[in-house]
Amino acid sequence: MASGRSVLLGIYNTDGDLISGELPGFRDTARRLAESNVSLFLQFRGEEALFGTAVNVQRSGRRPDTVIVLIRALPVRYTRETGRLVILLYREAITSLESADYRILNIGNDEELIRAVRAGEADGRRKVAFESRSSEFVAGKLVATQTAVVVSRNLRASVAHVAAVVDILVPVLRLGYTFSVSKKTFDANLSILPDKPPNVSAVDVELDNQYISRASADGDVYRRFVDALSDPGTTAFNSKNELSRGIATTIYKKTRDRDFKQQYLRMISAAGLPVDVDVDDAVASVIQQKRTALFEQYLKSRRFNRSSLRDALARLSSADSMAFWEVLAQAPAPYDRWRQISDLLQTNSMAAASFSERFRDPASRTSAPAAAWSSVPAGRRNRRWPLAVAAIIVLCALVLSLALLTGLLPAPVARPNATVNGDEALRIVSPDGIAGISTAKSAVLGLSAGEELTIQEVTPPQDFVAMGRWKPIGLFYLVSPEASTFDPPARFAIIVPANQSIEGSTIIARNIQIGGDWEQLETHAAANGTVTTSIPSGGLYGVFAVPVPAPE
């Protein structure tokens, strides 16, 4: 092995007991490798590589047996020859077993691999077209956070395929990837098996037949994921999901060909890949694909803007608008998932009425048919109630005008700007009119020249709202700039819509760390549904319902 690298090796029996070596603590891993008869297990994480293999051995005077060899190498320096690490680790395993007086019979009932390892040719890679295309296709799937299943009965070819994929993934291996060649299904990003497992509808590659599944449809897309690895910026990502989202979004933004973009978005939607799309494409995907996956991603992304979505829906034709709401109404989703866009349902009154009725909270639905509460036909009722509302508004306006003319009410007068302790007051309201900040201008600190305090409704990523017993009600607001502070703290108010069904108390909390850590703020609730608190700085704030503990 290369100098400067720490290598620890352990030999386990099939029950997971360490029988020789200096690598304890891998009992469960050894048992899993034995159960699945794993010929190659290779896992990269950070600067560490963990290798494992089940080897059939025999000691003098004893019956043949199977042992599990595990090797941990640290640190791993990722280079273009990292794939060669496979043969080096195999050689280390064979040498260690022979030093412990084991006679090597075979690996995976294949003696050819052992001969190739001894000769230094285990990877056996040849630069042929199929090998290049298949390894790029699989590597692209892994970069896109997909798992890949390959079938082959040739152990040496399987090991070579793993080595080729590892070489492609060198820039991002530190993010954590697992590879396996086994007789039975084993949990890995890339699994190579002798036959198609029953729980998989189709395999990705058949090495022995030189066949790539869906190569014509998705191959170009996955190769673009691989091409993106040449960008030095990929080293800045800290997780596979971030990497996949970053590459997927970059491909989306750079794609000018409309047909390819539609194909790309269909594949992204079907695979459930993370991507940041524009509002128009998010809406169009619902209509064209009859799926809500991309639209749901848009609602959860920081690109979500209520006004932009309302404008996009308003631009739809009548037929497209009906199709959009019909797909949402038929989507297999709970009511809570769509509650955050309930105020947009008026874009198309007929479609919205159908959508709202289907997704109304089951507890509030009426079990009696419509004919039970009115003998007027539904179509006629829908035509009458807007006229009634308009008549009431006109009547109120006439009464108010008469009151002003007769002096019963004082005429409105211009008021000077309000002050807070002698300083001019500052009131900032979110575009949707639901959240607001009240403070003195002099209390706002940390604003750069030209910067202004703003409040914007956002839908944070899902991991932001994983709060256990706390239940987010869909109201999240970003106070920008996030580095701004208030001294003294500013008054922050959010109006909770009357149609929100909340069990327990309502609180405002401040996000203090990405990943779902929130700090509860002292919250006051008014009778009109407004909740208020004092905030010390900018940042992300949300409203949560906290269930009241049941009495003991």
Identify the CATH class of 419-546.
Answer: mainly beta
Q: What is the mean pLDDT of residues 268-290?
A: 87
Cβ atoms of residues 438 and 411 within 8 Å: no
In tens, the pLDDT along 159-204 reads 999 999 999 999 999 999 999 999 998 999 999 999 999 888 889 9
Per the model's pLDDT, the better-predicted residue between 374 and 113 turns out to be 113
The half-sphere exposure of 496 on its side-chain side, counting CA atoms within 13 A, is 24
**Predicted local distance difference test score (pLDDT) of residue 449:** 78
**Predicted local distance difference test score (pLDDT) of residue 262:** 83
Going by C-alpha positions, the residue among 4, 99, 1, 98 that lies closest to residue 51 is 1
**Predicted local distance difference test score (pLDDT) of residue 58:** 94
Using the predicted structure, report yes or no on whether residue 80 has a pLDDT greater than 70: yes
**Predicted local distance difference test score (pLDDT) of residue 411:** 39
Using the predicted structure, report yes or no on whether residue 547 has a pLDDT greater than 80: no
3-state secondary structure of 5: coil
**Predicted local distance difference test score (pLDDT) of residue 321:** 86
Per the model's pLDDT, the better-predicted residue between 426 and 406 turns out to be 426
Instruction: Indicate the average pLDDT of the chain.
Output: 79
**Predicted local distance difference test score (pLDDT) of residue 500:** 64
In tens, the pLDDT along 482-501 reads 878 888 899 999 988 776 65
In tens, the pLDDT along 297-326 reads 888 777 778 788 888 888 999 889 888 888
Model confidence at 361, pLDDT cuts 50, 70, 90, reads very low
Cβ neighbours for 129, distance < 8 A, ≥ 6 positions apart:
none
Q: What is the mean pLDDT of residues 367-392?
A: 44
Using the predicted structure, report yes or no on whether residue 470 has a pLDDT greater than 70: yes
**Predicted local distance difference test score (pLDDT) of residue 261:** 85
**Predicted local distance difference test score (pLDDT) of residue 175:** 92
Q: What is the mean pLDDT of residues 369-380?
A: 36
**Predicted local distance difference test score (pLDDT) of residue 5:** 63
**Predicted local distance difference test score (pLDDT) of residue 391:** 60
Cα–Cα distance, 248 to 136 (Å, whole number): 16
Cα–Cα distance, 525 to 470 (Å, whole number): 17
In tens, the pLDDT along 507-527 reads 898 887 554 577 888 898 876
**Predicted local distance difference test score (pLDDT) of residue 422:** 54
**Predicted local distance difference test score (pLDDT) of residue 153:** 94
**Candidate ranges 10-14, 264-268, 394-398; pick with highest mean pLDDT:** 10-14
In tens, the pLDDT along 330-352 reads 776 544 445 445 544 444 444 44
Q: What angle do CA 19, 20, 22 make, to 5 degrees?
A: 125
Q: What is the mean pLDDT of residues 327-331?
A: 75
**Predicted local distance difference test score (pLDDT) of residue 98:** 93
Count helices and strands in the chain by DSSP H and E runs: 15, 23
**Predicted local distance difference test score (pLDDT) of residue 195:** 94
Going by C-alpha positions, the residue among 44, 138, 38, 130 that lies closest to residue 93 is 38
In tens, the pLDDT along 438-469 reads 888 888 988 887 788 999 988 776 555 555 67
Using the predicted structure, report yes or no on whether residue 26 has a pLDDT greater than 90: yes
**Predicted local distance difference test score (pLDDT) of residue 38:** 96
In tens, the pLDDT along 81-129 reads 788 889 899 999 999 999 999 999 999 988 888 888 888 765 545 556 7
Going by C-alpha positions, the residue among 257, 82, 233, 230 that lies closest to residue 167 is 82
Percent of the chain residues topping a pLDDT of 70: 75
Would strands 65-74 and 177-182 be described as parallel, antiparallel, or unpaired? unpaired
Two tokens, residue 211: 């066949």
Q: What is the mean pLDDT of residues 398-419?
A: 44
Q: What is the mean pLDDT of residues 220-245?
A: 86
Percent of the chain residues topping a pLDDT of 90: 32
- Tell whether the torsion through CA atoms of 312, 318, 323 and 326 is positive or negative: positive
**Predicted local distance difference test score (pLDDT) of residue 378:** 40
Map tokens 């699945």 to a residue. 36
**Predicted local distance difference test score (pLDDT) of residue 404:** 43
**Predicted local distance difference test score (pLDDT) of residue 463:** 54
Where are the chain's structural domains?
Answer: 6-220, 235-359, 419-546
Among 200-209, 248-257, 364-373, whose mean pLDDT is lowest?
364-373
In tens, the pLDDT along 144-161 reads 999 999 999 999 999 999
